[in-house]
A and B are shown apart, each in its own frame.
Chain A
Amino acid sequence: MNSVFCYIDRPSPIHDLTGATKLTCLLLWSFAAMMTYDTRFLAFLPVFSFLLFAFSKIRLKDVSFMIGFTMVFMILNNLLIFLFSPQHGVSLYGTCHELFSLGGRYVVTLEQLFYHLNLVLKYLSTIPIVLLFICTTNPSEFAASLNRIGVKYTVAYSVSLALRYIPDIQREYHEISQAQQARGIEMSKKETLFKRLKSASAILIPLILSSMDRIETISNAMQLRGFGKNKKRTWYMGRPFRTADILSIIVCALLLATAVFLNIRNGSRFWNPFS
């Protein structure tokens, strides 16, 4: 199923951590990676995350689509930065080591390349860990873990319900669009963009209306079974914290602390090898 959550049920130590632990670790890790441009630190994170990947028994081919997708995005991101701001590295690091010129203001400098290297490393430090979270967190635990880290359970539950309905809605979209195509609504590239937008409304309006019906049914069903009665609720899939959970959170907290420490010692978010 091409759902957003492609949970892969393959027992491993990472799977055994509670959802709340993994979510907390993900947040700490991403903050750490976002906070600093210290290249030594950023080079360490991908290595660490690849180790975790091996540990989790998630194979490369399980996530190849997502990796490909983010790689394309990463390349695009880098190209655009160079296109609009070819001297960004120079202004950041304060020195200028010219390598060669591509004409006009497009002069390639060591500083710019170094900045791009840092960007690439940032992608490599965050994407694998997000994928790891998605693939090893049972969607059933997702709402429970959001709730555990302090999100109100009604909100947490709506998020997880919304994710749950994505495949249903995709299927319904498909059915409606087939029936509308039979009536001559052309959705293929043969039509002009304007016509296609107009056609899309012929599919979206019934889809929205039927989703509204679905929402009414589910909210009645939930109320009839006591949802919203108490300020708190328990979770069938809830699990107690174990040593491994606490250790993981400590490790990730240390990562964040390191990032903060490096920023303070470097005097800025950037580690400057040129000065």
Chain B
Amino acid sequence: MSEVLLTFKNFGFQYNAQAEPTLYDINLEVHRGEKILIAGPSGCGKSTLASCINGLIPFSYRGEMTGSVQLKGRETRDLSLFEISRTVGTVLQDSDGQFIGLTVAEDIAFALENDCLPTDPMHERVRRAAELVGIGTHMKHAPGDLSGGQKQRAALAGLMVNDVELLLFDEPLANLDPATGKQAIEFIDDICRQSGAAAVIIEHRLEDVLHRSVDRIILMGDGRILADMKPDELLASDLLARSGIREPLYLTALKYAGVQITPEKRPSGIRDIILSDQDKEKVRSWMASQDPVSGKKGGRDLLSAQDISFSYSNGRQALRNVSVQIREGELLAIVGTNGAGKSTFSKVVCGFETPQEGRIQFADVEDWMGLSIKERADHVGYVMQNPNQMISQTMIFDEVALGLRTRGVPEDEIRSRVEDSLKVCGLWPFRSWPVSALSFGQKKRVTIASVLVLRPKMIILDEPTAGQDYRHYTEIMEFLRELSSRGFTIVMITHDMHLMLEYADRSVVFSEGQVIADDTSAGVLTNPDLVKRANLKETSLYDLAQLCGIGQARDFAQYFIDYEREVVRK
């Protein structure tokens, strides 16, 4: 085994502001050139562990450390944050927020500027780092103008410029569309191989990270390390399911079919997995035993958009002849890359933007296009991605009541409507709490409650599950499904393929301002051509179907979803 870079020994940490330690008994070694995935549900301490690796703990966040953390044989507490940053490079979760320079070149140069490197060698090193990550042609661009994938490359160049030996990625996939996420994983792998740097990736989207192999997976829960294993061993165990991490879909499907998963079958990648003929037969016969259940859901058209075209004032055309039908009571996903027009479409529906052409008919509302934002909000609720951007009141009750108060509804009616809404959203026990005491997922519910209280027929949610781990994700989505079964129409704008596959009855795919598909989610995700055009990623169920010689991948995926919904969840 190669040289040890980082060692945790009986390490624990407690934030000054907290009553309980966040980390207990951490024992962990990272070797030079190794690639490690740290997975665990929200609140398990994985971000705190990351801060202990890059030195933000103890230098930026105060608290009590026990045990030892050594970087190249020296205790990190005896180093400085700056010394640590020469060895450990961190790519933060929010890649937009971490850009400092006004242009890509300046951002890459930032660390060198702080090292007082003279201008000429600085330009040379910046150029080399930019070429290494393949961003050399974008040096003069503002970081904000780059695509998601390019942003990660630029961020990485800013670290590679210092020849760091350990790269730390905090949820690198959180803000990327599926295809870009896949490229990012490939790219991280390539850079580490080329530079010989070790990589520690913190991410709960296990299947996506495993697109390229990792050496070990560290599974965390409640501030402890639950497992430190080779991927094949971990996936063959039942540890993932027990700790609330989503296992890869193809493995779930294999388990439904009664296939035994063992480390020898190399279950960590769909391309490496070894299935016997017997196993494949099991999958085929499972499929044969399923009955088609799905039919088109939903009743009459609730919203009908006809030939909508919209250009922003800077001339960029965001929508071109878009026609979409949304049926009453359905759960619809709107998918596509950044800039494909999906958010613009929802803004046009809510009246935030006025299209140059086309019209929208909503139920039997007369002259929808003539209504103001406020008037439309009585019919269509809009929930932003980040609940912190919507919440303005201190108390939960007041926050939910805000929309009614501004409409001049009498106070006793407000009380009963807010209470109803809080009950629907499972917030009744918290009704007299301040908003600040809630978790992120609960705040999301508050924003949904504050929209529901206006009794809209339809709710549009922008990335409802962004940044949520599997447990919270399931919670939010089950809640939305319940709303849908109560007759609300739910429209989700999303990048999340699992969400789309598992929950949406139907998916509308946007690309470059046009609707390029309108189909069941299983249909969209098993259509290689469509997947490519919309920057999505094929579901691994598609690969599994191919592997087992099943021709109708689409039906296979659909049966899988139906089986999950009908059999497993009940």
Contacts and interface: CB of A to CB of B under 8 A. Distances in A.
Contact of A234 (B54, B98, B117): B117
A266 B392 CA distance: 61
A148 B60 CA distance: 29
B60 A220 contact: yes
17 contacts: A179-B384, A179-B389, A182-B381, A183-B406, A185-B402, A186-B374, A206-B388, A220-B92, A222-B110, A223-B60, A223-B81, A223-B85, A226-B86, A229-B114, A230-B114, A236-B109, A236-B119
Interface stretch (A11-19, A83-91, A107-115, A207-215): A207-215
A233 interface: yes
A140 interface: yes
Contacts of B112: 234, 236
Contacts of A175: 384, 389
B516 interface: no
Interface string A218-241: 101111111111101111111100
Given A179-B390, A184-B402, 16 more contacts: A140-B103, A160-B102, A172-B389, A176-B389, A180-B390, A180-B392, A181-B373, A181-B377, A182-B352, A183-B377, A217-B94, A223-B59, A223-B81, A226-B86, A234-B116, A234-B122
B373 A178 contact: yes
Given A140-B103, A182-B374, A221-B97, A232 B116 contact: yes
Which 7 pairs show the lowest CB-CB distances between chains A and B?
A: A221-B98, A236-B109, A217-B97, A184-B406, A226-B114, A183-B403, A182-B377
Contacts of B55: 224
B97 A230 contact: no
B90 interface: yes
A206 B390 contact: yes
Contact of B56 (A183, A224, A225, A237): A224
B82 A226 contact: yes
Given A180-B392, A206-B389, A218 B377 contact: no
Contacts of B210: none
A56 to B, nearest CB: 21
B410 to A, nearest CB: 15
Given A140-B102, A186-B406, A224-B54, A234 B113 contact: yes
B382 A235 contact: no
A225 B86 CA distance: 8
B347 interface: yes
Among B97, B101, B105, B454, max chain A CB count under 10 A is at: B97
A102 B402 CA distance: 55
Contacts of A239: 119
A159 interface: no
A225 to B, nearest CB: 4
A182 B102 contact: no
Among A178, A184, A233, max chain B CB count under 10 A is at: A184
B9 to A, nearest CB: 24
B114 A236 contact: no
The range of chain A's interface size is: 35 or more
Q: Is the interface of B mostly helix, strand, loop or mixed?
A: helix
B128 interface: no
A238 B275 CA distance: 61
Nearest to A176: B389
B274 interface: no
Interface in A154-207: 160-161, 164, 168, 172, 175-176, 178-186, 199, 201-203, 205-206
B102 A164 contact: yes
Nearest to A221: B98
Contacts of A224: 54-56, 81, 85, 90
B119 A238 contact: yes
B113 A236 contact: yes
A186 B105 CA distance: 43
Contacts of A176: 384, 389-390
A228 B123 CA distance: 21
B389 A217 contact: no
B391 A206 contact: yes
Contacts of B206: none
Contacts of B347: 178
A10 B131 CA distance: 27
Contacts of A168: 144
Interface in B351-404: 352, 373-374, 376-377, 381-382, 384, 386, 388-392, 402-403
Contact of B376 (A172, A182, A210, A225): A182
A213 to B, nearest CB: 7
Contacts of A233: 113-116
Contacts of A140: 101-103, 106
A221 B92 contact: yes
B137 to A, nearest CB: 18
A229 B118 CA distance: 16
Contacts of B105: 236
A189 to B, nearest CB: 13
B531 interface: no
Interface string B71-110: 0000000000110011000101010011111110110011
Contacts of B126: 236
A201 B94 contact: no
Contact of A226 (B115, B391, B406): B115
Interface string A49-88: 0000000000000000000000000000000000000000
Nearest to A203: B392
B102 A139 contact: yes
B550 interface: no
Nearest to B90: A224
A186 B390 CA distance: 15
Nearest to A178: B352
B407 interface: yes
B318 interface: no
B33 interface: no
Nearest to A179: B384
B406 A185 contact: yes
B460 to A, nearest CB: 10
Contacts of B110: 222, 225, 227
A210 B116 CA distance: 33
Contacts of B115: 226, 229-230, 233
Contacts of A202: 392, 402
Interface string B140-160: 000010000000000000110
A264 to B, nearest CB: 43
Contacts of A206: 388-392
Contacts of B465: none
Nearest to B103: A140
Among A140, A176, A228, A229, max chain B CB count under 10 A is at: A229
B451 interface: yes
Contacts of B236: none
B421 interface: no
